[in-house]
Amino acid sequence: MKLRTTSAAAAAAVVLALTATACGTGSDSGSNGDKINVGIKFDQPGLGLKTPDGKYAGFDVDVARYVAKELGFAEDKINFKQAPSAERENLIKNGDVKFVVASYSINDKRKKEVDFAGPYFLAHQDLLVRADDSSITKVEDLNAKKLCSVTGSTSAQNVKDKLAPKADLQQLGGYSECLTGLENKAVDALTTDDSILAGYASQKDHAGKFKLAGLRMSDEKYGIGVKKGDDELRGKINKALEKMVSDGTWEKLVKQHFGPSGYKYEPAPKVEN
Amino acid sequence: MSSVLYDTPGPRAKRRNVVYTIAFVAVAALVGWWVLSALNDKHQLDANKWSPFVTDSNVWTTYLVPGLTETLKAAALAILIALPLGALLGIGRLSDHRWVRVPVGAVVEFFRAIPVLMLMMFAAALYREFTTISSDFRPLYAVVTGLVLYNASVIAEVVRAGVLSLPRGQGDAAVALGMRKGQTMLYVLLPQAVTVMLPALVSQLVVIVKDTALGGALLGFEDLLSQARQITANYGANTIATLVVIALIYIVLNGIITNLAGRLEQRLRRGRKSTAAAIPAQAAAPEAEVKSVSGA
Amino acid sequence: MFDFLDSGQYDLLGAFWVTAKLALYSAIGSLIWGTALVSMRVSPVPLMRSFGTAYVNLVRNTPLTVVLVGCLLGLNQTLGITLGGGRSEDIGFRLAVLGLVAYTGTFVCEALRSGINTVPAGQAEAARALGMSFTQVLTVVVLPQAFRAAVTPLANVLIALTKNTTVAAAIGAVDAAFLMKTMIENETDALFAVFAVFAFGFIVLTLPTGLILGWAAKRLAVKR
């Protein structure tokens, strides 16, 4: 029996071409012995951002670097991994990362799944509004406004449940999407932690366009997430954080990352043990 | 066919066509001008929003190319697994044995009825809860799983329709030669069905490439589309520019696939003609028509 | 296992109702837009033909997700088009319908084109011999037969559309996929039950469409 050569050749060509594509992509394994995996945000300017040159920058990133150094890992031994908000608990629970520094506010629900070192920063839920917009001065003003936040975020939940149930809340995939709408007046305010908002407001492309409303609508204590029950690591990280505050690094980093935006940050919170 | 629908334009029809053309251009230009000027008003056409894609090679090396690689990886894996699986399911649905035909049919119909996005979300949750797959690969696995389940069942239908489209005589002749059922399928029916199936299979490949974007938008898969978030975080919320560039990449990629498929199909058809007509015109009869339709 | 259904915490029927409405409005819209596109593609005006072809090839090769996100970011957030204002859920819904129509219209167009190809050339020639204009040939003779021949591919397009409505979750329409995402996050213990419920919901939505239209295809088939 002779196969139809053309059909066979064609089919083989398709398979080969596809195999070639599949093989072209190598893979590198997650955790390896002398390196440490740390979860950060990749898309939050000022806190954790993957910059175009492939490096990472932001306050959280520098805190992570400092803590890792105290744990005995030099900067080139740190392996940064993206920790999107919804994935943070899972990354820690599955051991994909040793700890997470990603604007991770400590709350009871999360405490059931992971442990927190810190806090190392105190942020508040706030609003970002257009620089020339002075119509929002208190939380109640939001009820007649279009508000934007990120799908599933605690800030969104907070507004819906407590602060301004009547506000027209739009939930989008990312903060940049909200910013586009804010800039073009499709929404009136973007709500999340003031630290994140300050990061966006101080980007050079946004200079002078937006301002923080300065409403302290909640307290968000940023902690460093570690595996539940890993008290040894938690203790070490707490020590590192205390040292970071006492040797002045904390002040320096905060000035460096939040200074330009004119964001009035809180003093370093006391580490809870 | 289209030329059958109207007479060769005479002087009056020609003039009328010119009028229509002008009217059409006017409307298109008006809409285009409105969109562009509105975009311009909102500073979306400012050079600094677009120039990174031309002047800063880092945008490509750090975000777009790795994203495209992930997209291609997911698509290639999905099609490589789905093709043989789909072929098996398709043949299973043609089986003479009821106990094979019925369950396979149920599986195929089930996965064809469920949106691929839901399959992906379910797979992602499954992997997260019950496996220890590293988070680096979990979204990829989830996306590929969803794509394979859906597309294998679509390909199964394509294969079935392709085989059914062949003239009965082909199978009968093979049986008369004393071939076993497996041989008939493998050496006689499937090779011929490939030609009929190819357009549908390729359009399915385009569907797969497009569907990987679902993972990027909703599952944290770091594909081409998901890079938009990081690019816009770095270059001053240039969402429109980024989205346009990403859409163009998808269009070019899928255009290439479709183009290659067209050439491949022509070659196959030519090959068929030169070795005496094996498939008469029935192959194009309505019930044999192999059509696949986008999943998302 | 299924007790989350009784908790009253999730508006399951409401979510599927949104999905059904999305599918229905988009189906009507894309049938109209697809017919317009196919008319352009076979029209005597060369520019309209090229526009139709270019549109279909561009949009068909763009992921629906990109089309929908483009509607949201481009039309709504940037150009400020709200399609009638109201709350952002409603705007998201209408934008989703618009995006789905723009996308699905191309598939309707292709289905109809294959339908037109099944109409024997003699039909159109006879119509022209009677002195009919292009519009008359198309609307009175060719398209009615093309629609009947294209019921099966159109049914596939409509079923795919029903499933594609889930993508609207990406731009904040509160449909079934959006609810499923929330429920997967909150009801981790009942993962399989959650999936079963939504799978069942979609089978209920798509299976009858397939059966009814399959029956219609047989009934409407042009006897030749």
List pLDDT tens digits, range B229-245: 888 888 877 888 899 99
Q: What is the pTM for the complete model shown?
A: 0.85
Residue window 5-44, chain B: list those with CB within 8 Å of chain A: 42-43
In percent, the amount of chain B with pLDDT more than 70 equals: 90
* Residue pairs spanning B and C at CB distance below 8 A: 186
Q: Are C212 and C39 within 8 A, CB to CB?
A: no
- Kindly determine whether residue B113 and residue C202, on different chains, have CB atoms separated by under 8 Å: yes
pLDDT at B118: 92
Spatial CA neighbour of C223 closest among C113, C108, C139, C120: C120
- Any chains having at least 3 CB pairs less than 8 A from chain B are A, C
Judging contacts by C-beta atoms under 8 Å, the chain B residues touching residue A10 are: 194, 198, 264, 267-268
In a domain? residue B228: yes
Q: Which residue of B has its CA nearest to C58?
A: B251
Q: Which residue of A has its CA nearest to B133?
A: A94
List pLDDT tens digits, range A66-96: 999 888 888 888 989 888 877 788 888 888 8
pLDDT category, B272, cuts 50, 70, 90? low
Which residues of chain A form CATH 3.40.190.10? 36-122+222-261, 123-212
Residues B115, B21 share a domain: no
Q: Going by DSSP bridges, is the β-strand pair A48-50/A168-172 parallel, antiparallel, or unpaired?
A: unpaired
Domains of chain B: total: 2
Judging contacts by C-beta atoms under 8 Å, the chain A residues touching residue B175 are: none
pLDDT at A33: 60
The yes-or-no verdict on residue A125 having pLDDT over 60 is: yes
Residue ranges making up the domain that contains B35: 2-39
Nearest chain C Cα distance for residue B294, angstroms: 6
Q: Which residue of A has its CA nearest to C76?
A: A186
List pLDDT tens digits, range B33-62: 998 998 888 888 888 888 888 888 888 888
C interface test, pick of A171, A178, A179, A185 with most C CB neighbours within 10 Å: A171
Judging contacts by C-beta atoms under 8 Å, the chain B residues touching residue A4 are: 191-192, 271, 275
- Kindly determine whether residue A8 and residue B191, on different chains, have CB atoms separated by under 8 Å: yes
Judging contacts by C-beta atoms under 8 Å, the chain C residues touching residue A181 are: 76-77
Distance of alpha carbon B167 from alpha carbon C211, whole angstroms = 27
pLDDT at B278: 35
pLDDT category, B287, cuts 50, 70, 90? very low
In a domain? residue B44: no
Fold of the A123-212 domain: D-Maltodextrin-Binding Protein; domain 2 (3.40.190)
Judging contacts by C-beta atoms under 8 Å, the chain A residues touching residue B43 are: 183
Low-confidence winner among A27-31, A99-103, A131-135, C185-189 (lowest mean pLDDT): A27-31
Judging contacts by C-beta atoms under 8 Å, the chain C residues touching residue B225 are: 63, 65-66, 69
pLDDT at B135: 74
What is the residue type of B139?
Answer: P
Residue ranges making up the domain that contains C129: 3-220
C147: domain CATH number?
A: 1.10.3720.10
What is the residue type of B194?
Answer: V
Q: Which residue of C has its CA nearest to A145?
A: C87
Q: Which residues of B27-56 are buried (b: 16+ CB within 10 A; e: fewer)?
A: eeeeeeeeeeebbeebebeeeebbebbeee
Residues B161, B110 share a domain: yes
Give, rounded to a whole angstrom, the gap between the first and last alpha carbons of chain C.
55
List pLDDT tens digits, range B156-203: 989 998 898 888 899 899 999 999 988 999 899 988 888 788 878 888
Q: Which residue of C has its CA nearest to A170?
A: C88
What's the token pair of residue B218? 């909703």
Q: 3-class SS at B5?
A: helix
- Kindly determine whether residue C77 and residue A186, on different chains, have CB atoms separated by under 8 Å: yes
Q: Please give the backbone phi and psi of residue A174, each rounded to the nearest 5 degrees, phi first.
A: -150, 165
Judging contacts by C-beta atoms under 8 Å, the chain A residues touching residue B48 are: 205
C interface test, pick of A148, A170, A175, A183 with most C CB neighbours within 10 Å: A170
pLDDT category, B285, cuts 50, 70, 90? very low
Q: Which residues of A touch C (CB under 8 A)?
A: 86, 146, 151-152, 168-173, 177, 180-181, 184-187
- Kindly determine whether residue B233 and residue A44, on different chains, have CB atoms separated by under 8 Å: yes
Closest to A177 (Cβ–Cβ): which among C73, C80, C82?
A: C73
Higher pLDDT, A262 or C166: C166
pLDDT at B230: 84
- Kindly determine whether residue C63 and residue B129, on different chains, have CB atoms separated by under 8 Å: no
Residues B178, B62 share a domain: yes
What's the token pair of residue A171? 């939930």
Low-confidence winner among B150-154, B259-263, B266-270, C143-147 (lowest mean pLDDT): B266-270
Residues B147, B30 share a domain: no
**Averaged confidence pLDDT in chain B:** 84
Fold of the A36-122+222-261 domain: D-Maltodextrin-Binding Protein; domain 2 (3.40.190)
Q: Are B5 and C133 within 8 A, CB to CB?
A: no
Judging contacts by C-beta atoms under 8 Å, the chain B residues touching residue C128 are: 6-7
Q: Which residue of C has its CA nearest to B229?
A: C69
Residues B115, B28 share a domain: no
Judging contacts by C-beta atoms under 8 Å, the chain C residues touching residue A170 are: 88, 92, 172
| DSSP string covering chain A | ----HHHHHHHHHHHHHHHHHHHT-----S--TT-EEEEE-SEETTTEEE-TTS-EESHHHHHHHHHHHHTT--GGGEEEEE--GGGHHHHHHTTS-SEE-SS-B--HHHHTTEEEEEEEEEEEEEEEEETT-----SGGGGGGSEEEEETT-HHHHHIIIII-TTSEEEEES-HHHHHHHHHTTSSSEEEEEHHHHHHHHTSGGGTTTEEE------EEEEEEEEETT-HHHHHHHHHHHHHHHHTTHHHHHHHHHHGGGT--PPPPPPPP-
pLDDT at B265: 79
pLDDT at C25: 95
pLDDT at B212: 93
* Residue pairs spanning A and B at CB distance below 8 A: 131
Spatial CA neighbour of A81 closest among A152, A30, A28: A30
A interface test, pick of C88, C180, C182, C184 with most A CB neighbours within 10 Å: C88
Nearest chain A Cα distance for residue C78, angstroms: 6
Judging contacts by C-beta atoms under 8 Å, the chain A residues touching residue C80 are: 184-186
- Kindly determine whether residue C77 and residue A146, on different chains, have CB atoms separated by under 8 Å: no
Domains of chain C: total: 1
What's the token pair of residue B79? 């099609």
Question: Which residues touch B53 (CB under 8 Å, ≥6 apart)?
Answer: B59, B60, B241, B245
Residues B74, B33 share a domain: no
A interface test, pick of B81, B134, B135 with most A CB neighbours within 10 Å: B135
pLDDT category, B281, cuts 50, 70, 90? very low
B145: domain CATH number?
A: 1.10.3720.10
Q: Please give the backbone phi and psi of residue A123, each rounded to the nearest 5 degrees, phi first.
A: -115, 170
- Kindly determine whether residue B5 and residue C69, on different chains, have CB atoms separated by under 8 Å: no
What ipTM is given for this predicted complex? 0.89
Residues B250, B137 share a domain: yes
